[in-house]
Structure 1
Amino acid sequence: MHDVDFEVRPNEVVALLGGNGAGKSTLLEHLNGTLTPDAGELRVTGRKVTAETRSHARKEVGFVFQDPDTQLVAPTVLDDVMFGLRNYGVPADDARERAREALATVDAAHLEERVPHYLSGGEKRLVGLAGVLVLEPSVVVLDEPLAGLDPERSRLVADRIEAISREGISVVLSTHDIDFAASVADRVCVMADGNLVGEGTPQEVFYDEGLLERANLHAPTTVRLAKSLDVDGSRRPVTETELVELLSGAATPPSKTQVDG
């Protein structure tokens, strides 16, 4: 990466897009101090992150890795979600209560006695997310949260992302699933060749053909369909729901008043 200027704002979902090797995962690993820049600086809640303050970054910015097995370490799901709290010195009873609350938040309370490594991919991601949420971070970072998941489990993970966003936690995610990014993101940031080459709302980014071509990305299915149907270009639908609503409005017959007029 080089010359990257990136920030996460309060209460937003940011989707980081780009081809393989664009620098997405490297950028994400800087956000909680897993990596530190050779030049420039990283600040988390206003504090500069150094070797001495890296623990602050890791508490404020929770990271859910692409491979959930890398962060599942305990014999049961409940023990795993408690693990971070116990490392911070939280008493066992308090840690257990908070872990159960975090599992309930991601709709995984029924998994608490299960062995983590026997869970499905989607279940492991939910447990990893609970293990991050239990530490009450300001930001949650997810690297390819839908990788390897079937549609049902992808929808489950997407629902949990939207739910934690409604709780006021900012979310940063990298993904190759453009339709998913269009459905959940408030802001889209595009990377190419180790740099941030563009950003904006989904409507701004996904209708910018030059930017998408530069990053070797294609537009979401809805955008391509909207263009093929030649819908009102000023409306710029990016999700299936937005396109259906737009087409439904266009298909509504005129009222009698309009006809008579």
Structure 2
Amino acid sequence: MSRDQVPLVNLRCEAHTYPDGTVGMHDVDFSVYPDEVLALVGGNGAGKSTLLEHLNATLVPDDGELVVDGTPITEDNKAYARTEVGFVFQDADTQLVAPTVLDDVMFGLQNYGVPGDEAKQRAREALATVDASHLEDRIPHYLSGGEKRLVGLAGVLVLEPSVIVLDEPLAGLDPERSRLVAERIEQIHRDGISVVLSTHDLEFAADVADRICVMTDGNVVGNGTPREVFYNDALLAEANLHPPSAVRVAREAGLETTAQPVTEADLVSLLTEATDVATTQTPSPDGRGHD
């Protein structure tokens, strides 16, 4: 990912106000670049879901513009935004509409006129990508929360978007299903699709994201790499966020001024290295170091 690249998606939103008068978002300039995982973080009511729903024209700004792959999106070409930017909602049930999983994943293709045999083959490929082929004959509403997320993800992948947007993909999942969904997200990124997700789980954001955007009061107040964001005390305080546990432990251990770990794996590596150095410097019984 490089800032010199042309964005796949660029949203400029001076304002978005809901019918009841609530201001959901204002003064936002937000871009998604090729080959990145971007995590959107912030407290409840910060505007994360509102921003995400603007990325495929589910919502439109009162004043502003959405550009997808160089094409300005209008009332006449919203369908283009929705094929290029796939959206997986937090409530997976809102996307599950067919009697079986396979029928559900095929649904979008059939709406675009893809012939039945081709739609079925592509749907099976999409299910295989998210490791959910075994679910194809199941009734969607009887699936677990994690299984529903995977089926929703397959239903988006089958349309071959450039960007996939996930609203709180781990919400309500147990640790094992969270791990499974996180692995599928990383696989999708490795396959060349950019991913945008919102999350309250900063450990997860630190693990998967190349870039973090922080929202508060309907605006993006900062963004950068996980290290740039999670070691920025003023930015986190503005958004009422606490850094991931690796950051807190590193600070308590006096390690944050060196490698600045943000994930558990970073921290383990740093502590292992520090232990190895200390061991080699410990004097041997004859008074000489282990070196």
Partner of 1:203: 227
Structure 2: distance between partners of 1:118 and 1:68: 12
Structure 1: distance between partners of 2:290 and 2:273: 20
Partner of 2:165: 141
Partner of 1:13: 37
Partner of 1:127: 151
Structure 2: distance between partners of 1:219 and 1:255: 33
| Structure having greater relative contact order (Cα 8 Å, sep ≥ 6) | 1
* C-alpha deviation, 1:244, in angstroms: 0.5
Q: More strand per residue: 1 or 2?
A: 2
Deviations 1:87-146 (A, max 9, x none): 000000000000000000000000000000000000000000000000000000000000
* C-alpha deviation, 1:254, in angstroms: 2.5
One-letter identity of the residue aligned with 2:203? D
Structure 1: distance between partners of 2:289 and 2:74: 69
Partner of 1:67: 91
Structure 2: distance between partners of 1:205 and 1:232: 13
Q: Percent identity?
A: 71
Partner of 1:114: 138
Partner of 1:254: 280
Partner of 1:52: 76
Match of 2:48 among 2, 8, 24: 24
Q: Secondary structure at the match of 2:148?
A: helix
Which structure 2 segments of 5+ residues have no match? 1-24, 283-287
Q: Secondary structure at the match of 2:76?
A: coil
RMSD of the TM alignment (CA)? 1.4
Structure 1: distance between partners of 2:142 and 2:205: 29
Match of 1:2 among 15, 26, 31: 26
One-letter identity of the residue aligned with 1:254? T
* C-alpha deviation, 1:221, in angstroms: 1.0
Q: Secondary structure at the match of 2:28?
A: coil
Distance change in 2, residues 1:123/1:260 (3 Å): closer
TM-score calculated relative to the size of structure 1? 0.97
One-letter identity of the residue aligned with 1:86? Q
Structure 2: distance between partners of 1:145 and 1:74: 21
* C-alpha deviation, 1:234, in angstroms: 2.8
Given that 2:38 and 2:195 are in contact with CA atoms closer than 8 Å, whether structure 1 keeps it comes out as: yes
One-letter identity of the residue aligned with 2:39? A
Deviations 1:68-88 (A, max 9, x none): 000000000000000000000
Partner of 1:188: 212
Structure 1: distance between partners of 2:139 and 2:268: 43
* C-alpha deviation, 1:255, in angstroms: 7.5
Given that 2:212 and 2:225 are in contact with CA atoms closer than 8 Å, whether structure 1 keeps it comes out as: yes
* C-alpha deviation, 1:230, in angstroms: 1.1
Runs of 4+ that moved beyond 3 A: 258-261
The answer to whether the aligner puts 1:219 opposite 2:237 as a matched pair is: no
Q: Secondary structure at the match of 2:98?
A: coil
One-letter identity of the residue aligned with 2:154? A
Structure 1 or 2, whichever has the larger Rg, is 2
* C-alpha deviation, 1:232, in angstroms: 4.6
